[in-house]
Amino acid sequence: MDQDKLSQLKTMTTVVADTGDIDAIRRFTPTDATTNPSLILQAAQQETRRARLAELARQSVDIDDALDAVAVEIGSEISELVPGYVSTEVSARLSFDTDATLARAHSLIERYERRGVGRERILIKVASTWEGIRAAQQLEREGIRTNLTLLFSFTQAQACADAGVTLISPFVGRILDWHKAATPDADFSGDNDPGVRSVKAIYEHYKGHGYRTIVMGASFRNRAEIEALAGCDRLTISPKLLEELATDRGTLSRRLTPLDAETSAPEPHAEAEFRWAMNEDAMATEKLAEGIRKFMDDQRKLEALLGELRR
C-alpha cells in the first residue's frame, strides 16, 4: 500500500481539522475546520497574534463583543484555507438560554458576512442541551446551519435529528474517559471502545431512518478510534492525530457504510422525555456538564487576556 492512512481516510470520510492552528490547516488540507473556546484560546495565545488581538479588544464595546471579534477573525482566516464549513461556537455560558444563543448566533453570522464570508460557509456550534437544540432548530429554519456539540448520548442525537440540524459532533474520547474511570479493569480496546460504539449506533440509526443530519465523530483519544470509524460522514481530528495518520502507510479499511433508509423516523421526544432520558444516563449528563464547564474555563482565560489588552 503506497498511500498513507490520512489519504485513504479522505477517500471515504470528509476530514475536518479540529484546530485553530492556521499552519496545521495548511499542512493537512482538510475540507472543513472546527473550533471551540479551548482551541480559540490556544490560537489567541500565539505571540504573532498579540498586536492584532489588542487592536480588536480596544475596538470592541465590551468583552463579549471582543470574544466574537476574535472568533470571527480566526474563523475568517480559516475559511480562506478550507473549501467547506468553518464551525464557530456560541459562548458556553449561554448553553441553557435559547434566546441568548439565537442573538449571539445572529451576531456571529452578521460579523462573518461583513467580512465577506457567507452564512453557507459557517456552522454555528451549540451545546446539545435542550435549549441549545431548540435554538439550532430556529436557526436552521432561518437558513443558518448548525453544529451540535458536546453530544454524548443517543437521546441527544435523536433530538438533534428531530430538530433538523445540519451536523452533530458525537464525542468519542470523553465517553471512553468516563467508562475507564467507572470500570478501570474493563477491556475497552478496538470495537469495545464505548465512544466508538456510540457513534456507530447513531450513524446506523440516522442512515436507517433517512435523517439528513451529518454525523461527525469528534474528541478522539487515539488513532485506533478514528480508524474504527472510517467511512463516517465526517471526522474532526486534532493535528497530532492527523500527523500520525499521515505518516502511517498501512491499509485502512472502511468500517461504516451508508445504507438506504428502511424505516420511517420515530416520533420526536417531548422536553420531559428528553430530560428524563438524560437524567437516566449518568455518563451523558456528567460529561455534558463537565464539557460546558471546561469550555467556560478556557473562555474566562481568553476574557482575561482580552481584558488586559483593552487597557
Question: CA 105 to CA 123: how far, in whole Å?
Answer: 10
What per-residue string of b and e applies to 4-33 under the rule 16 or more CB within 10 Å gives b? bbbebbbebbbbbbbbbbbebbeebebebb
**Which candidate, 222, 235, 218, 216, places its Cα nearest to that of 190?**
222
**Cell numbers linked to 8:** 485513504
SS3 10: helix
Query: Which residue reads 495565545 in cell numbers?
Result: 45
Question: CA 263 to CA 239: how far, in whole Å?
Answer: 39
Question: CA 229 to CA 282: how far, in whole Å?
Answer: 24
**Which candidate, 198, 197, 260, 199, places its Cα nearest to that of 233?**
199
**Which candidate, 114, 143, 110, 144, places its Cα nearest to that of 126?**
144
Residues belonging to the active site: 125
Question: CA 220 to CA 226: how far, in whole Å?
Answer: 7
Distances (CA, A) of 177 to 53, 173, 188, 199, 253: 35, 6, 10, 15, 26
Question: CA 32 to CA 117: how far, in whole Å?
Answer: 14
255, 227 contact by CB (below 8 A): yes
